[in-house]
Amino acid sequence: MTMDITPLFALGMRVGDKLVARGETIAVAESSAGGLVSAALLARAGASAYYFGGAVLYTRRSGRLLTTLTAADTVGMRSSSPPYAALLARHQRMRFRASWGLAETGAAGPTGNPYGDPAGHTCLAVDGPVLRDRLLRTGLDDRPGNMIAFAIAALELLEAAIDAAPAAGHGDPGG
């Protein structure tokens, strides 16, 4: 199956342009999008001006090794949930000292996850001067299609938060 990721990369470049114009930065945590959120943000030349880093937290092991979160930080939470996505977004923003944190956690398919969520389920969160979250269920079992849909939805959520934020320079713990 051939899929066109041109719209995803165009969105990533547009978000990158907005971050540069505002002098702000981003750090990402994603799971079932498989790195597509980061790839889209990195498609813009000069991405190092705003992209501080990211991680694909696809397994519990990767979560332990690629974050500084502890078991105590996630008590009462499960992956693929709104509170977990919010925690990841906040963690990445603080850890990287970025203006914004963006997180995605879900089940791309073709089957659901062990928690009972169906294929096409993801939770998205933005942490920064504006907080946003979204639960998305595509209703599809198309793994690559869901991965792209998750990445687009994450970047659209980030773009909406940036557009709603006060003038540049507010809420940036990195200075």
Of 123, 132, 140, which is closest to residue 80 (Cα–Cα)? 123
The confidence score (pLDDT) of residue 169 equals 54
The confidence score (pLDDT) of residue 47 equals 98
27 has which bridge partners?
Answer: 53, 101
H or E segment to which residue 56 belongs? strand 51-56
Residue 74 contacts residue 88 (beta carbons within 8 Å)? no
Asked if the 26-164 domain carries CATH number 3.90.950.20, the reply is yes
The confidence score (pLDDT) of residue 147 equals 98
The confidence score (pLDDT) of residue 168 equals 72
Give the integer Cα–Cα distance in Å for 101 and 90: 6
Predicted TM-score (pTM) of this structure: 0.94
pLDDT in single tens digits along all 175 residues of the chain: 558 899 999 999 999 999 999 999 999 999 999 999 999 999 999 999 999 999 999 998 999 899 999 889 999 999 999 999 999 999 999 999 999 999 999 999 999 999 999 999 999 999 999 999 999 999 999 999 999 999 999 999 999 999 999 987 544 444 4
Domain boundaries, the chain: 26-164
Copy the structure tokens of residue 124.
């998205």
The confidence score (pLDDT) of residue 2 equals 58
The confidence score (pLDDT) of residue 32 equals 97
Copy the structure tokens of residue 159.
């773009």
The confidence score (pLDDT) of residue 85 equals 98
